[in-house]
Amino acid sequence: MTIEAIPEKCLWNEIDVPDISHVVESGDCDEFDVLIIGAGYTGLWTAFYLHLNDPSLRIAIIEKNTVGFGASGRNGGWCSTIMPMSLDSIAHRYGREQAIALQNAMFATLDEIKYRTTALGIDCDFTQGGSIQVLRSVNQVERAASRIRNLRESGYGEDFYQLLDREESLNLVKMSKTCGGFLDVHSAVLHPKKLCLGLATAVRSQGTAIIENSPVLSYTPGQVQTRQHTYKAKVVLRTTEAFSSSFSQAQRSVIPLYSMMVATEPLSTAIRSEIGLDSRQSFNDGRNMVIYGQRTADNRLAFGGRGAPYHFGSKILPSFDFNQKVAQGLRSTLIELFPVLERTEFTHHWGGPLAAPRDWTFNISYDPLSGLGSAGGYVGDGVATSNLAGRTLADLVCERSTELTRLSCVNHFSKKWEIEPLRFVAVNSLTKMAMLADWKEDKTGRPASIINGIIDKISDA
């Protein structure tokens, strides 16, 4: 049987886009107080909070493409309390108190995003229905039980995380092979592109200039160079995430990993009732390979996962944004989770690069002497984290000493990635090992502890 290709287009772009030109400024003013490179969530939130901290600041965001061109306009819409690194890894380096402070800051971030989007009138389909990881094997139940024990020891009770039995889990989402569930109570979902455009409109109305279609070629203290202009500012902030390695200041600090997505047609009421997700919980299962899904406000399932190859030399090309093999894999996985989707049409496929630092730990840094700063390295967890980073970066620039500026992610430095071809071999092996671990657990019913141990070793600081 020939399987039809899934149309290559991003679901999130199918909205009534407000005339973007109203957020485009000509480059006639070349001098600012703060220049931000990159108009994704991090750049936009940073500009927003800088203005709140000091309305007199003249701020400009310079974007090589258009607002939300990067991962911010293409992601899975999990606005979650999850961080890319584990609490244990933060505790190992900075102590348990710091780990808990950072996790608490993530919980507060969800409240902050809800508050700001509501106050700014940004209708981005934000729904805080929690996030459910369905546990579909004994191994997955055991891993979740151990995780919940750790969380309880760190002081997080039932009002934060819940271990569900089979029936409780099925009441929320009717996934095949359900043995139980792990519920993260505070997480939310949203429409990624609507958030980007709403934020862009908000910062524009604060007076921030957004200069689109202007790739930054290089930057130094006090100066940003595009092909057409030299812009000057006391403060220069880089928020370019997966694209960062093109700058000499950030070479080998992160690598671009591709995440891919598919979306279904809008589901009928009958199919929806066979699936559940009534509160629009984001969902995945407890496998080792990363997968993520949400029911959109117009009742489709948008579903994504890793598994696309890392490209030699950290290359980023438009052609890498689509991968029919991975898309078909995602389609089969979603049907495996929800067999009722067997005849459902898959209408969209897209993807994009995210940024992975060597120790999977995001970073917010600012040097008051040079006026240079940056934020990013969220791996696949940047939707909420970028708000925390933007608020923190704004406080650092305004020399405010706050709870945020004392978090361990501030001026945290990850070691650099290996040079090629080592990087290519190691990163692609990690992906293959995650797949192998899932295959082994599926076949034998036993935990793939040795493989997971190797994965942890390679991806560890």
- Residue 302 Cβ vs ligand FAD, minimum distance, rounded to whole Å: 9
- Residue 295 Cβ vs ligand FAD, minimum distance, rounded to whole Å: 13
Nearer to ligand FAD, 359 or 381 (CB): 381
With binding defined as CB under 6 A, does residue 65 bind ligand FAD? Answer: yes
Of the candidate residues 77, 130, 329, 371, the single one contacting ligand FAD (CB under 6 A): 77
Of the candidate residues 198, 307, 373, 380, the single one contacting ligand FAD (CB under 6 A): 380
Nearer to ligand FAD, 139 or 363 (CB): 363
Choose the stretch contacting ligand FAD; rule: CB under 6 A; options: 21-29, 38-46, 130-138, 417-425.
38-46
Using CB under 6 A as the binding criterion, the count of chain residues that bind ligand FAD stands at 44
With binding defined as CB under 6 A, does residue 63 bind ligand FAD? Answer: yes
Q: Which of residues 284-313 bind ligand FAD (CB under 6 A)?
A: 292, 304
DSSP string covering 371-401: TEEEEE--TT-HHHHHHHHHHHHHHHHTT--
Nearer to ligand FAD, 74 or 331 (CB): 74
With binding defined as CB under 6 A, does residue 69 bind ligand FAD? Answer: yes
DSSP element (H, E) containing 142: helix 138-153
Of the candidate residues 352, 357, 371, 373, the single one contacting ligand FAD (CB under 6 A): 352
With binding defined as CB under 6 A, does residue 277 bind ligand FAD? Answer: no
- Residue 291 Cβ vs ligand FAD, minimum distance, rounded to whole Å: 11
What's the alpha-carbon Rg for the chain, to the nearest Å? 21
Question: How many angstroms separate the CA atoms of 191 and 210, rounded?
Answer: 22
Nearer to ligand FAD, 64 or 204 (CB): 64
Nearer to ligand FAD, 73 or 286 (CB): 73
Q: What are phi and psi of 227, to 5 degrees?
A: -65, -40
With binding defined as CB under 6 A, does residue 64 bind ligand FAD? Answer: yes
Of the candidate residues 10, 11, 24, 39, the single one contacting ligand FAD (CB under 6 A): 39
Output the residue with the shortest Cβ distance to ligand FAD: 382
With binding defined as CB under 6 A, does residue 239 bind ligand FAD? Answer: yes
Q: Is 274 exposed, middle or buried (0-12, 13-18, 19+ CB in 10 A)?
A: middle
Choose the stretch contacting ligand FAD; rule: CB under 6 A; options: 170-178, 273-281, 346-354, 414-422.
346-354
For residues 123 and 425, is the Cβ–Cβ distance under 8 A?
A: no
Long-range contacts of 121-124 (CB under 8 A, 24+ apart): 121/198, 122/194, 122/195, 122/198, 122/199, 122/201, 122/202, 123/194, 123/198, 124/190, 124/191, 124/192, 124/194, 124/195, 124/198
DSSP element (H, E) containing 119: helix 96-119
Nearer to ligand FAD, 259 or 323 (CB): 259
> Which DSSP letter does residue 288 get?
S
With binding defined as CB under 6 A, does residue 49 bind ligand FAD? Answer: no
- Residue 354 Cβ vs ligand FAD, minimum distance, rounded to whole Å: 4
Of the candidate residues 131, 259, 296, 431, the single one contacting ligand FAD (CB under 6 A): 259
For residues 193 and 68, is the Cβ–Cβ distance under 8 A?
A: yes
Tokens of 76: 């899975």
Cα 66 to the center of its chain, rounded Å: 19
Question: How many angstroms separate the CA atoms of 254 and 327, rounded?
Answer: 25
Choose the stretch contacting ligand FAD; rule: CB under 6 A; options: 330-338, 345-353, 418-426, 427-435.
345-353
- Residue 153 Cβ vs ligand FAD, minimum distance, rounded to whole Å: 26
* Strands annotated E in 13-97: 31-37, 59-62, 78-79
Choose the stretch contacting ligand FAD; rule: CB under 6 A; options: 153-161, 169-177, 372-380, 438-446.
372-380
With binding defined as CB under 6 A, does residue 459 bind ligand FAD? Answer: no
What residue spans of 180-316 are helical by DSSP H? 192-205, 269-275
Cα 244 to the center of its chain, rounded Å: 16
With binding defined as CB under 6 A, does residue 41 bind ligand FAD? Answer: yes
Nearer to ligand FAD, 77 or 357 (CB): 77
Tokens of 338: 């929800």
Question: How many angstroms separate the CA atoms of 393 and 401, rounded?
Answer: 11
With binding defined as CB under 6 A, does residue 37 bind ligand FAD? Answer: yes
- Residue 294 Cβ vs ligand FAD, minimum distance, rounded to whole Å: 8
The SS3 assignment for 195 reads: helix
With binding defined as CB under 6 A, does residue 351 bind ligand FAD? Answer: yes
CA–CA distances in Å: residue 271 to residues 157, 176, 274, 301 = 34, 14, 5, 11
Q: In the 3-class helix/strand/coil scheme, how is 253-284 assigned residue by residue?
A: CEEEEEEEEEEECCCCHHHHHHHECCCCCEEE
Of the candidate residues 7, 27, 215, 447, the single one contacting ligand FAD (CB under 6 A): 215
What does the binding site for ligand FAD look like in residue numbers (CB under 6 A)? 37-43, 62-65, 69-72, 74-78, 80, 215-216, 239-243, 246, 259, 261, 292, 304, 351-354, 376, 378, 380-383, 386
